[in-house]
Amino acid sequence: MSIAGLDDRMWDAGTPMTQRRRRVRCAYREACALELAALKPGNVHQEAGGHGMTVDDFLLSADASAWPLTDPDIGLGERLYRSVSATRSAVGRNTNLGILLLCGPLAQAVVDPRLSGSLRQRLKQVLERCDRRDTQGLFEAIRLAAPAGLGSAETHDVAGPVSATPLEAMAQAAQRDQIAYQYVGGFADLFERGQRLLDALEHRWSDPVWATAGLFMDFLARVPDSHIARKLGPEVARSVLERAAPLTKALLGASRPEGCRAELQRFDRALKAEGINPGTSADLTVASLFIRRLEPVCAELEATAGACRYSPSLAGGHAPRAIL
């Protein structure tokens, strides 16, 4: 068990906020671990590492970043910077910038005590409340992670002065970057198609690991992967999409996904031999799995808050007890 895991056990009996934070940490780690268990061509997974990285690198990164990611007392920019810094300290490289950019707002949507509503409503509040201080933290996090192929931009360059909110900066990049596009669109791809596909595949296959592999392949075959495009160019990203499309069709249509394993393994070896890593498709997969685990937490928070607000026992002028 990791040190973080021991800390979680020590704090099991803490305050409601401590318990909420623990649940979000566990959800984050579970999402990261499940994504790593799935066969994802070109990306690191349990069957094969790649690009100089191993599964252990990503598990250590998840453990290290889980604490700052779920801090209820900081804003999004500081949350992202501290999470990237913790990852750097743990593994000495960028393993999870895209994951953090997507999971940071989702984690804040649950741990920030000022927010209310469904997970999707809370996420909207997080993104709309961010200001230029959050952009400063966001830019510092990206500079610290130093992702491959970052390049420069005419406006809202991460190396330049801050002149916009995170949503404004992401809007400028949304046409070329899938993660920026999720910010601008309220993570609609993940809440809608991502969750429906997970439901359908888990129902058909009764195997969350294969369902995760199917979700990854669906992302890979629908939109050119931003990480590939940034590092190797848009033509290579489009080529990988076209190569993934028939494999994805076969997998998503299969009654038994194991029958596609050999073809997926061959594709995995080919992409890694070519130095191609569909990292953004993996990031979107982790965030989708994280949403899956956070939505029930938000539903419970709303139900508890409703009981507190409307309980007959609160009649007669008694002040409600803080329970969240």
Mean pLDDT of the 180-192 span = 96
Residue range 111-156, pLDDT digits in tens: 999 999 999 999 999 999 999 999 999 999 999 998 764 544 445 4
Best CA proximity match to 135, nearest among 160, 106, 111, 110: 160
Is the pLDDT confidence value at 83 over 90?
yes
Share of the chain above pLDDT 90, in %: 81
Mean pLDDT of the 40-61 span = 95
pLDDT of residue 149: 47
The SS3 of residue 295 is: helix
The SS3 of residue 51 is: coil
Residue 322 DSSP one-character state: P
User: Cα(252)–Cα(307) distance, rounded to whole angstroms?
Assistant: 42
pTM above 0.75, yes or no: yes
Is the pLDDT confidence value at 229 over 90?
yes
End-to-end CA distance of the chain: 29
Residue range 266-300, pLDDT digits in tens: 999 999 999 999 999 999 999 999 999 999 999 99
> Greater confidence, 87 or 1?
87
Tell me if 26 sits within 8 A of 75, measured CB to CB.
no
